[in-house]
Amino acid sequence: MILTLFQTIDLTYIYEIGTVVGIGFLIFCLYLTEKIIRLFPGSNVVLKWRLLQLGIVIFIILYILDWIVWIFEFQELLYIIGGILRIGSSVLITLIVFLFYRTINIVFLGHKKKEK
């Protein structure tokens, strides 16, 4: 049943829709991180959230590059960008968890002093 469904759908649409939706979510994340940054003026955690924003921007650029490379069928570059996206996503998730821990530490445990 599922295989029949995939045979009737042009799978390139899934790739294109996934890319556009992914970029949309990343742009929304930029907005949310900006809201978080405004909650902690003057804290060192702000610099770390800015670093996260930079990572999100880099991912948006990589998604766009990946899409362009896919459209022009540069297979070798597609593998390179795909690898960078996978490694980078692991690093980004690690950064997010670390920032979440630091931010929760400030909010719930009251450690408002500047971190090292």
Q: How much is the pTM? A: 0.77
Residues 6+ positions from 105 with CB-CB distance below 8 Å: 111
**Higher-scoring residue by pLDDT: 43, 94:** 94
Domain ranges of the chain: 2-109
pLDDT digits (tens, 9 = 90+) for 52-101: 999 999 999 999 998 898 888 888 888 898 889 889 899 999 989 988 88
- The pLDDT mean for the chain works out to 85
Q: Give the residue among 10, 9, 14, 22 at the shortest CA–CA distance from 65.
A: 22
**Higher-scoring residue by pLDDT: 106, 9:** 106
Least confident of 37-41, 93-97, 107-111: 107-111
State residue 42's pLDDT score: 83
Percent of the chain scored above 70 by pLDDT? 89
DSSP H helical segments within the chain, as ranges? Answer: 2-8, 11-39, 45-71, 75-109
